[in-house]
Every structure is written in C-alpha cells, then in structure tokens.
Chain A
Amino acid sequence: MSLATLLVLADGRLPAGGHAHSGGLEAQVSAGRVRDLDDVAAFLRGKLATSGLVAAAFAAAACRRPGRWAELDGGLDARTPSPALRKASRAQGRALLRAGRAMWALPPIGREPHQPTALGVLAHAAGLGPEEAAVAAAHGTTTGAASAAVRLLALDPYAVHALLARLAPACDRIAGEAARHADDAVNDLPAAGAPLLDIGAEHHATWEVRLFAS
C-alpha cells in the first residue's frame, strides 16, 4: 500500500467535482441551523456518524470486491431516500470516475455509480485496501462540507482546519468500523440515516438560487 497514493486519492484538489457540493451544509445554513464554528462542528460530527459511516462502509466493500459494484449501488439507493441526494452522489461518482480513469486502469462500473462505490473501485485499482478506501470516504465527508462552510459562513479557515484536525481521530475510528464490514452482505452493511440531511437536500433542490449543487 502506498501512503502517497492514498493522499492523491483523498486530496481535496482532486478534480472530482467536490468543490460544487456542500454536503448538505448550504441547506442547513439557509435554514439557520448552522451559523458558527460550533454548529459546523456538530454538523460534521453528525454527518460522520451517519452518512459518513455508510459511505465509508460501502467504499470499503467496493474496494474489497469491485465486481459487486452494481449490488452495492443498489444498497446505497436503498439507504438514500432523498432523490436529490441520490442524484448528487451519482454526479460526484461520475466525476470521480472521470478523474480515476485518468489515473488508473479501472474495471467497468457503469456511467454514474454512487460516489462511495466509485471511491472503493478507484482505491482497489490504485492498489489500496478497504481500510484506506474507508478513511478516504470518511475524510472526504468532513473536508468537503468544511470547505463549503468557509465559503458560506466566511469562517476563519484556520479555525475550520483546527476543527478538521480534532475530527481526524473520529474519522479513523469510523473508517475502522466501516472496514470491518467490508465482507458483509450488502443488506448487513451500515444503514445510519440523517433525516434532516434528506429533508434539507429536497428543499435545496427546489431553490431557484443556490451556490452549491447539493
């Protein structure tokens, strides 16, 4: 396993469409639920424990057995009740696939897989293991929304990165838990939900004016 390869895959500058998504934060900022750094910290912890855990587990499972991608994609559909979030996940999966194809030789996994499925398949193609795929997924869950928080709330970027550093052990823990499920049947993979993220995403998709795609 190459640590530097993992850093390439998890780098926020990877051209995989992430900058246009707020991970649900824009909807919560607009609703007045997230206003300052403490709110962002609570938002990220909640996200990590729910959609972050699911994303990490599915990335780990896809990395273990890339040939299962279609089944895993179905499992993610079942765990994503909001059509807007499904669309956002598939749009980011498609973008990640585009970047992945430029970097490694990927097996066919459809045109628009869910983002965690694509991430796991990329990690496999890059020679990484399920735990690394899970860490990349958990890390991406927090960094994407944190970067959006800097832009949406004009927060001090140092304070936001201090928050990310505090969350790093939690990312590792979640990733470790997720990776333990890498061999589970799809129906047994984690299914933690975050109803406010689902509701927020559905509202967000109807706005006429929005800065982020999701």
Chain B
Amino acid sequence: MHPDHATPAGGAWPRPSENYVPHAHGPDEPPHTHPDPGVDPHQALAAGPRALRVGIGGPVGSGKTALVAALCRALGEELRLAVVTNDIYTTEDADFLLRNGVLPAERIRAVETGCCPHTAIRDDISANLDAVEDLEATLGPLDLVLVESGGDNLTATFSKGLIDRQIFVVDVAGGDKVPRKGGPGVTAADLLVINKTDLAPLVGADLAVMDRDAKERRGELPTVFLSLVEDRAATPVAEWIRILVGVRGPAG
C-alpha cells in the first residue's frame, strides 16, 4: 500500500497531510494528474437519518444469535437499536432474544426465507429491506440495525444493498481448519469473529493456527477471538461497532 493511503488506527480517513509533496513532473512526461491522497476513493457510508446496518452471518451453530444477544446487552442502553432475524424457523431466533430479555419484542422482526437463507441476504434482499424500513417507521430513528442471517455455509455473504458492514462468525468447534478453507465470509467480511474459544482445549483446536490462517486469508481485515461464556458483552465486537456508529454520527 502507498504510504499516502495508509489508514490510521480507528478507521478515519486522513485529511491531506501538510507534509504531502506531489512528485515532480519532468518535461518529457505526458500531462497527467494524481488522485488526491486525502480523499477516500471508496463510497462513503450513506449519511443522514438511516441507521448503521451490520450483517451477522456464519455457519449453523457458530453463535450468531448468542452474539446478537450479547451485543444487545452491551449496546442496548447507549444506542437505539433493532434486530432483524432470518432463521429458517421464523420465530426461533426472535424467541431466543425475547426469552433472554435483551430486547423488547417491538425491536425484533423475523423474516421468512423460503429455505434459502443466502438468497434473502444476497440475491433478493427485499424482505429484509422491508423489515428494516418497518422497524424505522415504527420506532423512529435508529442508530444501529443488526441483520442476523440464517445459518448457512462458508460462501454466504450479505449484499451491500442491505448492509453497511458485515461480521462473519465461525467457531473453534467447527475445526481449526475453517479459516484456512476461506470462502467469501472468511476472506471478505469486515470483521471475522472466531467464537467459543473456551472450547478450544476440549475439541483440540489450535487458536494460533486459526489466527495465522485468518491473517493469511484476510490481509489487513480485523479478526477477533471471542468466548461469550467468559465475555457476555462481546467486548471487542461491541467496541468495533461503537467506532463505526461514532464515525457515522447520530441518526437524525
């Protein structure tokens, strides 16, 4: 990466540096221009009244719903948040959140996916978009909407038309080779969560191997290790979301 394009810790894009000096142009060079190194070429997250939408995907049983519950506990007091679930059994995940008392019923919407959890978050996102819109219409402005996918396989990813950022959750009990296998969820998710680290000694999973493989697959994208048994507030994930919400500013 060109040093001008390095992103500082915290994710905010640098403004043009006072020390930045464009390279000199010789007399033989055809006329050309350079992009402003202080301008992020990527499309910015949409500003305005819409809530930040974070997709949470991952294989069946990796702990997506438990992570959503933990995030509701951690962030429910400080952010106006709502959850859309895509479990194949429409009310299962919503019931889990209700039973655990982490979110009132009116802040949860369940979406049916017709046996195709990946279709509902990637190819035809209409039911999920409608659910998000309905939540915002009922509850007023929100800061954060978590969209939890139904359990799927390693190829499942969220459409950018539905979410702003996505988290992919795998667990150590699925085998320490999962990060090495890759797939779009592992390689391209904005945050990879390797969950249930407390089980590692019981299932013979080597966290160092998972860490190394994740780094290899994901380059500079972040990976966090998590045990919801030991950290019921999912601290590193909650912190990652806090920074994202902070960058966007409050909803209108």
Interface residue ranges, A against B (CB under 8 Å): 13, 15-22, 91, 94-95, 98-99, 148, 151-152, 208-213
**Minimum CB distance partner of B129 in chain A:** A98
Q: Which residue in A15, A20, A94, A95 is a CB contact (below 8 Å) of B114?
A: A20
**Minimum CB distance partner of A14 in chain B:** B124
- Asked whether A95 lies within 8 Å of B112 as measured between CB atoms, the reply is no
Most chain A Cβ neighbours within 10 Å, of B89, B115, B119: B115
A-B contact pairs, 10 of them (CB 8 A): A15-B123, A17-B126, A17-B127, A19-B119, A20-B112, A91-B130, A151-B114, A151-B115, A209-B92, A210-B112
Most chain B Cβ neighbours within 10 Å, of A13, A15, A91, A95: A15
Excluding A91-B127, A211-B88, A211-B114, 18 further A-B contacts by CB distance (< 8 Å) are A15-B125, A18-B124, A19-B113, A19-B114, A19-B120, A20-B112, A20-B116, A94-B126, A94-B130, A148-B114, A151-B115, A208-B91, A209-B89, A209-B91, A211-B112, A211-B115, A212-B114, A212-B115
* Total residue contacts A-B, CB cutoff 8 A: 67
**Minimum CB distance partner of B114 in chain A:** A20
**Minimum CB distance partner of A112 in chain B:** B130
- Asked whether A98 lies within 8 Å of B114 as measured between CB atoms, the reply is no
In the A-B complex, the 9 residue pairs with the closest CB atoms: A95-B126, A15-B124, A213-B112, A20-B114, A17-B126, A151-B115, A209-B89, A212-B114, A19-B114
B227 close to A (CB within 8 Å): no
Q: Please give the distance in Å from A28's CB to the nearest CB on chain B.
A: 15
- Asked whether A22 lies within 8 Å of B126 as measured between CB atoms, the reply is no
Residues of A within 8 A of B124 (CB): 13, 15-20, 95
Residues of A within 8 A of B89 (CB): 208-210
Taken together as a complex, chains A and B put the C-alpha atoms of A95 and B92 apart, in Å, by: 24
Q: Which residue in B111, B114, B120 is a CB contact (below 8 Å) of A22?
A: B114
- Asked whether B126 lies within 8 Å of A15 as measured between CB atoms, the reply is yes
Q: Please give the distance in Å from B88's CB to the nearest CB on chain A.
A: 6
Interface residue ranges, B against A (CB under 8 Å): 88-92, 111-116, 119-120, 123-127, 129-130
Q: Which residue in B91, B92, B113, B129 is a CB contact (below 8 Å) of A20?
A: B113
Residues of A within 8 A of B126 (CB): 15-17, 94-95, 98-99
A20 with B120, Cβ < 8 A, contacts A15-B125, A15-B126 known: yes
**Minimum CB distance partner of A16 in chain B:** B126
Residues of B within 8 A of A19 (CB): 113-114, 116, 119-120, 123-124
Taken together as a complex, chains A and B put the C-alpha atoms of A19 and B123 apart, in Å, by: 10
Residues of B within 8 A of A95 (CB): 124, 126-127, 130
Taken together as a complex, chains A and B put the C-alpha atoms of A91 and B88 apart, in Å, by: 19
Q: Please give the distance in Å from A152's CB to the nearest CB on chain B.
A: 8
**Minimum CB distance partner of B159 in chain A:** A15
Q: Please give the distance in Å from A173's CB to the nearest CB on chain B.
A: 29
Residues of B within 8 A of A16 (CB): 124, 126
Q: Which residue in B90, B114, B127, B129 is a CB contact (below 8 Å) of A209?
A: B90
Residues of B within 8 A of A94 (CB): 126, 130
Residues of B within 8 A of A208 (CB): 89, 91
Q: Please give the distance in Å from A133's CB to the nearest CB on chain B.
A: 20
- Asked whether A13 lies within 8 Å of B123 as measured between CB atoms, the reply is yes
Residues of A within 8 A of B91 (CB): 208-209
**Minimum CB distance partner of B126 in chain A:** A95
Q: Please give the distance in Å from B130's CB to the nearest CB on chain A.
A: 6
Residues of B within 8 A of A22 (CB): 114
Q: Please give the distance in Å from A164's CB to the nearest CB on chain B.
A: 18
Taken together as a complex, chains A and B put the C-alpha atoms of A162 and B130 apart, in Å, by: 34
- Asked whether B129 lies within 8 Å of A212 as measured between CB atoms, the reply is no
Residues of B within 8 A of A152 (CB): 115
